[in-house]
Structure 1
Amino acid sequence: MSCTATASDKPTLLLVDDDPTFCRILSQALEKRDFEVYTATDLAGGLELAGDHNPEYAIIDLRIGH
């Protein structure tokens, strides 16, 4: 699990996907559009980040681990 973010007034988004390359590319694209992005590579990490940061938006791989 990894987390990329700092406190700000930016909209927050949680990205959960087991493909780290996809997470990195999408995170970079969203950050360029002024989002604060939190990433996790597993569901447990995603749940932890959701509880810690209460993101406004989420993109979650529904087939994670398959």
Structure 2
Amino acid sequence: MSDLDYYRERLAQESQAARSANCPEAEMIHRSLAAAYARKALGALQDREDGAEAVHGKVVGLRPVRTA
């Protein structure tokens, strides 16, 4: 499982937990965690678009960057 897939899965889990939370504090915690996973997923998506993909925290498939 790539890091992007992991972060997307955790985002979905935390979003669901926030929707089913029984108290405002728990909902806020789950929404904060969901926001953190959303930021990490966005970073992983940008890395993938740049040609690098992290799998279990290790970068694979890094393409060389062209300069002028």
Normalising by the residue count of structure 2, what TM-score does the alignment of the two structures yield?
A: 0.29
Structure with more strand by fraction: 1
**Larger C-alpha radius of gyration, 1 or 2?**
2
**Higher RCO by CA contacts (8 Å cutoff, separation 6 or greater):** 1
